[in-house]
Structure 1
């Protein structure tokens, strides 16, 4: 969009400067929410059952996933805005895909090599995953719920300010 002239046209219109970015983010988050619903439906269809999760815990899990998707989307928009061209922008968020692989998603942190444990423990996916496990599977959440919220809100604010400042600074 930045290189094809539509953004230049939007800049001449009497609209809020951030509405273009916000529209893209809202669309991406809605797509992520639809994906979560689809994956949840498939999981339920093939036999996933939450043992003791209440409706409130299910809603909290869904809300956390939506907030986490919002945070990662804003960070990805910022990374894309920092890219010099469309090709670089489309691939700049690729490292975010690797973060779940270095979290507690597949292996408990205690079972990881000692040098690797801090990497897995102090990144945004681990507290989010542990919170989701706690909400839906009844495991201990501990401080992970607050950490997941803090990571999500912090990344959302950081990504929003980064994206909007790059968008405002863009001379195109």
Structure 2
């Protein structure tokens, strides 16, 4: 009978040396491996909460500095309170700066041999990169929640409903696109110290945008550059969805901020996902 055992311990009817049949497909194991990488990343945050405190420290200090110290001297097109104008921009800045943290963590794993160990294990190659992305999105949700609670404590009151959810989704969409930029840069730079130096590049990109000042209040040439900054589109779209009354500029990109807030991250994703995957594949050569 096929269910009985012979003296060798091999089931009758089963050829000796035949590997066991995997009950799950490749997609299941890819998701399982990705979740294990996510758990590893979240465990690091749980054991080192100072990392999240550091990531949130700069945006919260910036909110307090620009909102209370410089707020009375800032102008808002069409009138209105500057803090209402500032808060959505600070959320965008936090999402934009997140790629620096992604790059730092990726280069740390790369230089310490963690990625090499992952690649030597029987796990899906996509799990390493995908797990990093999912972890960063989860952390981004926590960052946004804490920042929004801070803003509410300062008197910011957004419109609720689908507009609020749409703004939250656009912020995460921008963060998702910049994750791949961070992964690609993390696989390029030689050490974590060099990844920290990316702040010198990210800071001017956020300053020359509509995060702190409306582009129409800048000199003409600088205002055009700021208006076409992808970060400005997300900032303008989230202000609109949060119900912040801010007059938009005359340029096409400013008049179609909601559209471009969806298009710019898509373009960034299509550019940097292939670059990140190709760079990751070159590590094995």
Q: Decide: shared fold, TM above 0.5.
A: yes
| Per-residue deviation, residues 26-79 of structure 1 (Å, max 9, x unmatched) | 1122112111100101111221112xx341001001101111111112111111
Structure 1 unaligned residues grouped into runs of 5+: none
Is the aligned partner of 1:40 residue 2:40?
Answer: no
Shift of 1:93: 5.8
Q: Which moved more, 1:54-63 or 1:130-139?
A: 130-139
Shift of 1:101: 0.9
Is the aligned partner of 1:147 residue 2:260?
Answer: yes
Structure 1: distance between partners of 2:210 and 2:119: 44
Structure 1: distance between partners of 2:192 and 2:152: 38
Is the aligned partner of 1:24 residue 2:24?
Answer: no
Structure 2: distance between partners of 1:97 and 1:158: 22
Query: Using a 3 Å threshold, how does the CA distance of structure 1 residues 19 and 94 change in structure 2: closer, same or farther?
Result: farther
Q: 2:270 aligns with which of 138, 157, 171?
A: 157
Q: Which moved more, 1:89-98 or 1:2-11?
A: 89-98
| Per-residue deviation, residues 1-40 of structure 1 (Å, max 9, x unmatched) | 1122222221122222121111112112211211110010
TM-score, structure 2 normalization = 0.55
Query: Using a 3 Å threshold, how does the CA distance of structure 1 residues 94 and 80 change in structure 2: closer, same or farther?
Result: farther
- Alignment check: 8 A CA contact 1:80 1:92 kept: no
Alignment-derived partner of residue 203 in structure 2 = 97
- Alignment check: 8 A CA contact 1:131 1:148 kept: yes
Alignment-derived partner of residue 2 in structure 1 = 110
Structure 2 unaligned residues grouped into runs of 5+: 1-108, 249-253
Structure 1: distance between partners of 2:192 and 2:156: 40
Shift of 1:94: 4.6
Alignment-derived partner of residue 59 in structure 1 = 165
Query: Using a 3 Å threshold, how does the CA distance of structure 1 residues 93 and 25 change in structure 2: closer, same or farther?
Result: farther
Alignment-derived partner of residue 282 in structure 2 = 169
Aligned length: 170
